[in-house]
Each structure stands twice: as structure tokens, then as C-alpha cells.
Amino acid sequence: MSEHFDREWLGLREPVDHAARPASLADALAEWVVRVRGANEAPLRVLDLGAGSGSNLRWLAPRLPDPQLWTLVDHDASLLDAARRDAGGERVEHLRVEDFAAAPPALPGAAPAPLLVTGAALLDLVSARWLDALVAACAARGAAVLFALSYDGRIEWSQPDPEDAALLAAVNRHQGTDKGFGPALGPGAAMHLERALERHGYRVEAAASPWELDAARPALVRALIDGWAEAAAAMEPTRAGDFRAWAGRRRAAVIGDGCRLRVGHRDVLGLPPAPGRGSGSGVAAG
């Protein structure tokens, strides 16, 4: 994987990620676990892709019924070690240091225990081919799927700036460039996942999970604005100066002038059809 995220960035975004995520999808997933498990007390097995330092684990695990056994997969061993330490170790069964850019990681084989494949802030980096292969593998295993915080292409400001539209267009083009998995799905990732799950007969639920930011998160705001300006300049080098100037105005507006910022994301839950059911599916969106 060519994308690397350090602990400082992950720490900045974690509280905002957690505040953004809709509890309704976790509730629906928890009901599925109880229903599928029945009288069988086999643990829910969870495969967390791109687990990083464990933010997804920390948010999701307390909302699902125990027992649970998590396998955390990431290409960065130091982040996985931090995730295990912060989790206390009681739910983390395996750490897998694996670069899965070429193909999705192998799923556990058939077992009586329910399986969840999950990840956060991952899918907008991957290619359509990669995601289709993952969904096919999940369907073959009968695994539930929950992917959170996929960027949806929207960046909205409470106070407009003349360069907002040009910046957003350039950023969204950059989102579609290769992040190590092939041409990235970028803002279309969540919708692509929904359609792929529907084709395999999953019941699909989706909900918005926007970041809501203001001067209370100055370090995160600065990092975002500067990162967007850099990405836009990479797509339009002749306008790099314009985008740097935009970044300066935007930092001042949010941190000094009370401007608010919303960054759109979308969470998608897929629950597999019961064994023997046809391929019909239902969709609910929030």
C-alpha cells in the first residue's frame, strides 16, 4: 500500500470519526449477530482491514455482543502493536502485518461462528476490481460487511470562498488517482459497495457519517486544509499559488472567524442472505 498514515494523524481524526459514525448500523449488525449465533456461543469473528492503530475496534467492539475475536490487518506493524496495547488484548486474537493492495486478504474458512469483515476510511483508496473481489469473497463465506467513513466527495463551508469549487473539483480528481490498489474509487466508493452487495443478495443499509469541524479542532482543520491544497496543486500545478492562498484564507476563516466545515462520508452495512435464499435484496439509506 502506498498510502501511509502516522499515529499523529490517526489520533487527530479518531474523536471526529467516532462522533460521525451512525449507531443505527451497529445496532442492526448487533441484531444480526444475535440472530445468526442463536444458541451457539461461538464468538463473532471480525476481520478489520486497514486497522491502523485500532480506532474501528475501539468504536465498534463495545456496540456488538460478546464474545468477539478480532483479527487486525494492516501493513504497518507499529500501528497494529499500538492497537493491541490500547485494546487491552481481550478481544484481539491475531495481528496480520500484510500489504493487501494487490488482492483482498484471505478470509477465514467456513465455521459455525458468524464473520464480519469491516474497515474504516479505507474504501475510497481501493479500486473497483479490488472491492468487487472482496465482496465476492464475503458473499461466498456468508460474512457480514461494514465499512465506515468513505469520503463522498462533499466539502461544505458555512462561509463561501471564490476558490472552493475549483479546489473541490481538483481534490476529487486526485481522489481517483492510484493509491496503491489501482485507480481509486474515491468519492464513489460507498455507492460502488452498495451496488456490489446488492448483486450478491445482501440486505444493504447506508447512512451519512459527516465530519463536523470548527475552531475546536485546529490541528485537524489545518492538516485537512493543507492536504487538500497540496492534492489540488498536484492535479493543477499552474494553480498551486492560488490553492496555497485559498488554504491560508480557509485556515483563518475556520480558526479565527467562526467558519464551520462539513466533510461528507458514508457508512455501508451489508447483511448476507440466509442460506438457501435467492438473490433478491432490499436497500435502506440514511
Cβ neighbours, 10 Å, residue 237: 10
Cα separation, 135 vs 146, whole angstroms: 11
Q: Which residues contact 280 (CB under 8 A, 6 or more apart)?
A: 201
pLDDT at 89: 57
| 3-class DSSP state of 43 | coil
Cell 475510497 belongs to residue: 124
CB neighbours (10 Å) of residue 167? Answer: 24
The amino acid sitting at 161 is D
**Number of Cβ within a 10 Å radius of residue 193:** 27
pLDDT for position 93:
82
Q: What is the three-class DSSP state of 145? A: strand
CA nearest to 130, candidates 155, 159, 99, 165? 99
In this structure, what DSSP letter does residue 126 have?
Answer: S
pLDDT value, residue 279: 47
Q: What is the pLDDT of residue 108?
A: 81
Name residue 48's beta-bridge partners: 72, 118
What integer pLDDT is reported at residue 110 of this predicted model? 67
**Cis ω on the peptide bond leading into residue 273 (within 30° of 0)?**
no
CA dihedral 276, 195, 147, 73 (to 10 degrees): 80
Q: What is the dihedral of CA 69, 268, 34, 279, to 10 degrees?
A: -110
| pLDDT reported for residue 277 | 56
| Alpha-carbon separation of residue 173 from 166, 185, 231, 232 (angstroms) | 11, 10, 9, 8
Neighbouring-strand partners of residue 157: 261
pLDDT of residue 90: 64
Positive or negative torsion for Cα 104, 105, 109, 113: negative
Cα 209–chain centre separation: 10
Q: Which three cell numbers, joined as nine digits, stand for 126? A: 481501493
Q: Cα-flanking dihedrals φ and ψ of residue 133, to 5°?
A: -65, -40
3-state secondary structure of 119: strand
Please name the helix (run of DSSP H) or strand (run of DSSP E) that holds residue 95, with its range, or none: strand 92-97
Q: Which regions in the chain score pLDDT beneath 50? A: 1-4, 278-283, 285-286
Q: Return the CATH superfamily for domain 7-152+180-211+264-285.
A: Vaccinia Virus protein VP39 (3.40.50.150)
CA distances from 70 to 46, 64, 90 (A): 5, 12, 9
DSSP H or E stretch at residue 206: strand 203-208
Residue 61 sits at φ, ψ, to 5 deg, of: -55, -45
The grid coordinates listed for 208 are 451519512
Which grid cell sits at 232? 489540488
What pTM does this model have?
0.92
Digit-coded pLDDT (tens) for 116-174: 999 999 999 999 999 999 999 999 999 999 999 999 999 999 999 999 999 999 999 99
